[in-house]
Amino acid sequence: MSLSSARYRLLLTVLFLALWIALAIEPFDRADWLLENLLVFVFVALLIASYRRLPLSGISYTTIFLFLCLHALGAHYTYSEVPYDDWVRALTGGSLNQAMGWERNHFDRLVHFSYGLLLAYPIREVFLRVVDARGFWGYFLPLDVTMSTSMMFELFEWTVAERVGGDLGMAYLGSQGDVWDAHKDMALASLGALTAMALAMAVNMALQRDFAREFRDSLRVKHAEPLGEVKIGRMRRGEE
């Protein structure tokens, strides 16, 4: 079964649905679970709606699948209560938090980093296939979109937490008392996306024969005439 086959995509869908349903049963906090899944419902609906016109590669669907699985786990326990340290103790007999000197639950940090690491490539695929981005822009624009959407999510998270308030708002926000929580989350998402694009660039440098030429061409000025008022003037005179 190849990564690009319809059976592989169906397998990922079935596996995620099975995991999501299992984790939807008796979550730690049902109200927080619903809030955490709001954007998942929208995102999955967009994936389904765009499937016929823009089916993604097996690699993209795999990275999306992995990210959604991590998010489903966080939504089940609430991000600040995922017992990863207990799992590590059960497997190794030692504490990961103690070994790393951590004083908080860092599962949310992992997922924010994974947001950039796992979703930057699907975003790159969309830019290459829809916008026809090439060279430098094929790496920079996915990084830029990942960073900006990470910022937008932090604003969304803050707005929802303010509106619902109380313990539910704090559970959804998941800052665990860290005043720089949003900044660190955005930084980790950016680092994840930067890592993903660096890996994509390394692969293309090794395999793409015209990599250097395409990269140089993408940075050349395509239209020498300024835009702004010059463009508006030409349109008003009916020249364009």
* Residue 236: inside a domain: no
182 vs 16, residue with greater confidence: 16
Task: Flag whether pLDDT at 173 surpasses 70.
Answer: no
Residue 188: exposure state from Cβ atoms within 10 A (0-12, 13-18, ≥19): buried
H/E segment holding residue 71: helix 58-77
Domain hosting residue 117, numbered range: 6-221
pLDDT at residue 216 greater than cutoff 80: yes
Mean pLDDT computed over 43-71: 94
Question: Which amino acid type is present at position 6?
Answer: A
What pLDDT, on a 0 to 100 scale, did the predictor assign at position 1? Answer: 60
* Residue 237 resides in a domain: no
Judge residue 66's burial from the number of C-beta atoms within 10 Å of its C-beta, 0-12 exposed, 13-18 middle, 19 or more buried. middle
Asked whether residue 1 is domain-assigned, the answer is no
pLDDT (tens digit, 9 = 90+) per residue, 14-31? Answer: 999 999 999 999 999 999
Give the pLDDT score at 233: 87
pLDDT of residue 178: 75
Scan for tokens 């999955």, then name that residue: 44
Q: By the 8 A CB rule, do 65 and 12 touch?
A: yes
Look up residue 121 and give its amino acid.
Answer: Y
Specify if 239 maps to a domain.
no
Give the pLDDT of residue 120.
98
Instruction: Identify the weakest region by mean pLDDT among 63-67, 167-171, 236-240.
Output: 167-171
In a domain, 44, yes or no: yes
What is the phi/psi pair of residue 39, to 5°? -70, -25
Quick check: is 65 in a domain?
A: yes
Range with lowest mean pLDDT among 2-6, 65-69, 75-79, 183-187: 2-6
pLDDT one-digit tens code per residue, 114-171: 999 999 999 999 999 999 999 999 999 999 999 999 999 889 888 888 888 777 766 6
Rounded mean pLDDT, 29-35: 91
DSSP state for residue 128 in the 8-state scheme: I
Query: Residues 6 or more apart from 65 whose CB is under 8 A from it?
Result: 12, 15, 16
- Helical residues (DSSP H) of the chain, grouped into ranges: 6-24, 30-50, 58-77, 84-92, 96-100, 107-126, 137-164, 166-173, 181-207, 211-218, 229-236
Number of domains present in the structure of the chain? 1
Q: Tell me, what's the pLDDT at 234? A: 85
Q: Which residue has the tokens 């795999």?
A: 62
Assigned domain for 235 exists? no
What is the average pLDDT score of the chain?
91
82-113: buried (b, 16+ CB within 10 Å) or exposed (e) per residue?
Answer: beebeebeeeeeeebbeeeeeeebbbbbbbbb
Buried b (16+ CB within 10 A) or exposed e, 196-215: bbeebbeeeeeeeeeeeeeb
**DSSP three-state, residue 25:** coil
233 is a domain residue: no
Q: Does the pLDDT of residue 239 top 90, yes or no?
A: no
* pLDDT the model gives residue 103: 84
pLDDT in tens, 81-109: 999 999 999 999 999 999 999 888 899 99
Is 147 in contact with 190 (CB distance < 8 Å)? yes
